[in-house]
A and B are shown apart, each in its own frame.
Chain A
Amino acid sequence: MFINSNDVEEIIRIVDGNYANRTVVLMIAETDMPNINSLTDKLNRKDIKFIGGIFPQVIYGNNVYDSGVVIKFIQNEVSTLVMNNIKDKNYTIPELDFDKTKNYCAFTFIDGLTGNISYFLSELYRKFGNNCSYLGGGAGSLSLQQKPCVFDNQGFYMDTAITIVFESNVSIGVKHGWKKIEGPIIATKTDKNVIQELNWRNAFEVYKEVIQSDIKTELRQDNFFDIAKAYPFGMLKANAECIVRDPIATNEKGELICVGEIMENTAVDVLKGEKDNLINSAKAAAEDAINGVTEIRDVLVIDCISRVLFLEQDFKKELDNVLAIINSKDNDASISGALTLGEISSYHGFLEFLNKTLVIGVFS
């Protein structure tokens, strides 16, 4: 469901009319967003249980929206967990009892601009293991300024993750389509999401050499974001595409600041995006997702905002591809979701924080 409005009263009216004692998930686009405190107060007065996140843009059908709210309703909720202080690792993930004969989904919104997200996900996987399928994304502003971005009935938070665990059969497709142009290179010195050295040298110098061998423009601190968005890093993963790490800035020390952690001594490739590859990967992700189900009840799309920035007008083709594949299975099915700062999914194994990747969850 999508509401193209920031009017709190209208949002409340539509949610109230549809929620039917289910948990409401609100994905709100950051431009002209409704007043979250007012929205929270009014939903609380109606005893509606909800979680939500603020995202750069939201997806509904084959369109993206700068403003508006995508609404999902979740039934068979097992638990909703709020973990604060993600950056300081100062939180406890509670134990949950899972019935091995049932399928569960753990859907997470996390402050995409906080630190130690990969660590949080590894702790989430430590607690829930493969009892759940994992889906989710990083909330926050495209301005890359950290501020409150996830919320529930109790508050509006930053540096926080909210995970809702519910009974559901979900099939997940994950693809990015970025291809290697150089590597492997070793990230010889890192600190969480900051690469300090590559191949025992200043990280920016090494990265700049690679980029400038591919394009003629000089890579500098002031044009870094615009150029680097087309040249992310890839960390090798067996039986799957590599895990992408998105360098979004550099500093005066020549360090590369990424979205998501890179462990020290990781072998990475420098990747490059070709529009066709990315658009086709969306098709492949959707095919993977529908292959795991016999019927489609709902489709959630978590796509990286940097793919929109890279594909620009062609991004619509990515969504067109996804919708076409979904509709090939069920002509009435629609897609909705959010454009995020980092994506969350497991490949039936270790849970990862992804960048520049498309995650499609098909619920049946």
Chain B
Amino acid sequence: MDKSKNILDILQLYEFAMAIGTSLDYKTNCDNFLKTLLARKNFSACCIVRKIDNKINSLYCYPDYKEQDKTSGSYDMANGCITGNCPLIFTIDQTNNEAVPFKFNEGIALFFPLSKDTGLFIFDETRITFPERDLNQLLPLIEKFKTSLDACEAFAKQDSLLKRLEVQNQELMDYAQVVSHDLKSPLRNINTIINWIKEDNKESLTTSIISNLSKIDENLERMDRLIEGILKYSTIDKAENNYANVDFEEILDDVTNSIGIPSHIAVIVDNKLPVVTIDPIRLKQLLQNIISNAIKSIHQEKGEIKIKTWLSENTIMISISDNGIGIEKKYHEKIFEIFESLDGNSNSAGLGLSIVKKIVEYYNGFIKLESSPGNGTTFNIGLSLNLTHETPVLNL
């Protein structure tokens, strides 16, 4: 047994194996492996073909071939090999060399099935035989190469899908912006006209007309909030991330200041969160919606909102409890649906908790509700810091 030849064979297999799957681009992957194979084994040409609707399509060819060089013999040869679906060595001579889409006088062709409709041909002008041992040596390599080609095709599909999704997301964002702008513009005009009517007819307007005009105004405001809410809802998971190091208490101060906590309600905070890197705008929107709902639910003289936060295995945990009127069990799912409002308040667009749910989903998190009528409500929220799209960083 020639030991040095065996070692060389093994090292060459190592070289071939290392050349496989070095790129997720189909052509580059083929180039890297097949050009190495051609160079070391002194093969002349290779091509990967796929049978689609009774036509043979070339997925990769080295060297390039011209479509006009394909003959009916090319189809028969490829079709026969693909149908046979097993590795083959066959002779190319004057009787069948016109089937090879390259200039080829005589030699051998190797065929390796890559799937039920796809195969790899390798042509060799320098030999008229090819040892079965050498074919057996190539088989596991081609099997590995096949897996890498499958990965390339899957990646290309995923890439194309992602690009389409990106375009559709952008279109949706643009659409939401345009619709919002176009709907808001006539609302502003109506509001202005109502104000003119009120100004110009101060003396002649009856109380009933003034009351009706005020109702129109209120509805306009409601419509405006609704449009704003829809815009937020549709873009909350698509807007760009602006990660920043966030101190939870600072964010909470901003939120409570902007909402304006009524004097009869106490906000009790128990914060155990370190500084985390997260999008502060989304966090603010989440807190704003839940705290606003809590305020609306408190009808008694002394209200209380308790906010607890802590970190649990890379998840930001937030618990917000109120001593408000509570929510019946049958509404526990429904309240997160879009345009659902339980308090019958005409000022509510019914979007707040839908937006909260979307933010939670964006962070691969969860939101759980504990509530019953008369016993207040607790929202338990988890926001994962392990995001696949853009990972927020924990700064301890």
Map CB proximity to B onto A58-79 as digits: 1 under 8 Å, 0 otherwise. 0000000000000000000000
Closest to A186 in B: B11
B14→A263 contact, CB < 8 A? no
Task: Judge whether B65 is part of the interface by a CB distance below 8 angstroms.
Answer: yes
B7→A237 contact, CB < 8 A? no
Q: Given the known A-B contacts A126-B63, A184-B11, A267-B11, are A238 and B103 also in contact in the complex, defined by CB atoms under 8 Å?
A: no
B103: chain A residues at CB < 8 Å are: 98, 100, 129-131
Q: Given the known A-B contacts A100-B103, A349-B125, A350-B44, are A236 and B12 also in contact in the complex, defined by CB atoms under 8 Å?
A: yes
Task: Judge whether A128 is part of the interface by a CB distance below 8 angstroms.
Answer: yes
Task: Judge whether B154 is part of the interface by a CB distance below 8 angstroms.
Answer: no
Q: B53-71: which have CB < 8 Å to A?
A: 62-65, 69
Task: Kindly provide the distance from the CB of B394 to the nearest chain A CB, expressed in whole angstroms.
Answer: 36
Task: Judge whether A156 is part of the interface by a CB distance below 8 angstroms.
Answer: no
Closest to A352 in B: B39
B7: chain A residues at CB < 8 Å are: 184
Give Cα A131 to B12, complex, Å: 29
Q: In the complex, how many residues of chain A place their beta carbon closer than 8 angstroms to a beta carbon of chain B?
A: 29
Task: Judge whether B26 is part of the interface by a CB distance below 8 angstroms.
Answer: no
Give Cα A186 to B19, complex, Å: 14
Give Cα A264 to B14, complex, Å: 11
Task: Kindly provide the distance from the CB of A259 to the nearest chain B CB, expressed in whole angstroms.
Answer: 17
Give Cα A100 to B102, complex, Å: 9
Q: A294-316: which have CB < 8 Å to B?
A: none
B12: chain A residues at CB < 8 Å are: 236, 267
A347→B8 contact, CB < 8 A? no
A350→B124 contact, CB < 8 A? no
Q: A88-137: which have CB < 8 Å to B?
A: 98, 100, 122, 125-131
A347→B42 contact, CB < 8 A? yes
Map CB proximity to B onto A263-282 as digits: 1 under 8 Å, 0 otherwise. 11111000000000000000
**Of A127, A237, A265, A348, the contact of B63 (CB 8 Å cutoff):** A127
A217: chain B residues at CB < 8 Å are: none
Give Cα A186 to B17, complex, Å: 13
Q: Given the known A-B contacts A184-B7, A347-B126, A349-B44, are A129 and B38 also in contact in the complex, defined by CB atoms under 8 Å?
A: no
A235: chain B residues at CB < 8 Å are: 40
Task: Judge whether B36 is part of the interface by a CB distance below 8 angstroms.
Answer: yes
B64→A129 contact, CB < 8 A? yes
Give Cα A265 to B65, complex, Å: 29
Give Cα A243 to B42, complex, Å: 11
Of B14, B63, B104, B126, the most chain A CB neighbours within 10 A belong to B63
A349→B43 contact, CB < 8 A? yes
**Of B40, B44, B62, the contact of A348 (CB 8 Å cutoff):** B44
Give Cα A350 to B123, complex, Å: 11
**Of A127, A236, A263, the contact of B64 (CB 8 Å cutoff):** A127
Closest to B32 in A: A263
Q: Can you list 25 A-B contacts with CB-CB less than 8 angstroms, sorted by A residue number?
A: A100-B69, A126-B63, A127-B63, A127-B64, A129-B45, A130-B102, A130-B103, A184-B7, A184-B11, A186-B15, A236-B40, A237-B39, A239-B127, A240-B42, A240-B126, A243-B39, A265-B18, A265-B19, A267-B12, A267-B14, A347-B126, A348-B126, A349-B124, A350-B39, A350-B44
19 more A-B residue pairs beyond the given contacts A127-B63, A243-B39, with a C-beta to C-beta distance below 8 A: A98-B103, A122-B35, A126-B64, A129-B45, A129-B65, A130-B44, A130-B104, A236-B40, A238-B42, A239-B42, A240-B42, A263-B36, A265-B19, A266-B15, A267-B11, A267-B12, A349-B44, A350-B39, A352-B39
> Contact residues of B with A, CB < 8 Å?
7-8, 11-12, 14-15, 18-19, 35-36, 38-45, 62-65, 69, 102-104, 124-127
Nearest 4 interchain pairs by C-beta = A129-B63, A267-B11, A265-B18, A350-B38
